[in-house]
Amino acid sequence: MGLLLGLFFGIGLLLIIWTFAVPAETRPATDARLIARSRDLLASAGIEGVTPGAFIGACLITGVAGFVVMFVVSGAWPVGVVFGLMSGGLPVALVRSRARKRLAEFRELWPDVVDNIASAVRAGLSLSEALAQVGERGPLPLREPFRRFGADYASTGRFADSLDRLKARLADPVGDRVVEALRIAREVGGGDLGRLLRSLSTFLRDDARTRSELESRQSWSVNGARVAVAAPWLVLALLSFQGDVIQRYNSTVGALIIGVGAAVCVIAYRLMLRIGRLPEPERVLR
């Protein structure tokens, strides 16, 4: 048992060191895509102090820890493996949940931001000044990105580059649309800026209202899928404290049963989410 624990700890430590030590350009394309997806996920959740490598390392550490704990409790390696995989996905699930909550909160605030910008433009401010003042008077969760936009524009004087950095900080599909609409309005110019902002505010408000209604009606299917998937694994975790029962899974047949059960749960859960959840908006205007 000590040899097995040392082996898994050594593998986990090696993967963590490899994540930080190997240059990105020498890694396989799959690893580069994994890092890119991790970076996008962290940005969507508004987490700036964690690098993709550290995030992947955290997933590896929690996975190894979950395996060790359940293997020690149950004494059955198939149980340890399946709970280790679940533990490894826990940081991803937490960050995704935070990203969904953040995007939903931003979706409700964007119409107020656009109204704020329109009011500032009508008061005689330039578009760059109107964007900067959102950092002082806009909705609280969105103040910091716009405050940093004002600092960027004041130091560089480059409106387009400051907008690009604002989009990167927001990491929000709705924010991308708003920023690109403002970019076009500044480049084209003319007296239609107020009309564009009013139309954009109305569109965003209607879109947020419709999406909120649909999500509230379909949330029961998502919650039902989560309960249905969690139930058998909760039972398996409770059985892990009964040594004579759980040892029946400490074999090739037991591992096959657990593996098939895990595959069925994953397929059924993904299918239920696909049926019951609205498609998430994608950032197509990066």
pLDDT digits (tens, 9 = 90+) for 157-175: 888 888 888 888 888 888 8
Residue 212 — very low, low, confident or very high, per pLDDT cuts 50/70/90?
confident
Answer whether 264's CB lies under 8 Å from 92's CB. Answer: no
Q: Tell me which of 265 and 6 has the higher pLDDT.
A: 265
Answer whether 174's CB lies under 8 Å from 107's CB. Answer: yes
For residues 250-271, average pLDDT: 86
- Give the percent of the chain with pLDDT over 70: 84
Residue 252 has pLDDT above 60, yes or no: yes
What DSSP letter does each residue of 89-116 carry, written as one string? HHHHHHHHHHHHHHHHHHHHHHHHHHHH
Question: Which structure tokens are listed for 218?
Answer: 């379909």
Residue 4 has pLDDT above 70, yes or no: no
Nearest residue to 11 via CA among 74, 89, 94, 81:
81
**C-alpha pair distances (Å), 28 with each of 22, 23, 35, 37, 242:** 11, 11, 11, 14, 44
First-to-last alpha carbon distance for the chain, in angstroms, is 50
Answer whether 52's CB lies under 8 Å from 8's CB. Answer: no
Euclidean distance between CA atoms 203 and 208, whole angstroms? 9
Which pLDDT score is estimated for 62? Answer: 92
Euclidean distance between CA atoms 235 and 213, whole angstroms? 35
| Torsions phi, psi for 210 (to 5 deg) | -65, -45
HSE-CB of 38 using CA atoms within 13 angstroms: 20
Residue 27 — very low, low, confident or very high, per pLDDT cuts 50/70/90?
very low
Which pLDDT score is estimated for 15? Answer: 55
Nearest residue to 110 via CA among 184, 200, 171:
200
Q: What is the average pLDDT value for the chain, to the nearest integer? A: 81
For residues 23-42, average pLDDT: 69
Euclidean distance between CA atoms 125 and 89, whole angstroms? 48
* Longest CA span, the chain: 79
Residue 7 has pLDDT above 60, yes or no: no
Which pLDDT score is estimated for 26? Answer: 46
Euclidean distance between CA atoms 265 and 261, whole angstroms? 6
Name the amino acid, one letter, at 118: A
Euclidean distance between CA atoms 219 and 272, whole angstroms? 11
Ordered by start, the domain boundaries in the chain are 108-209
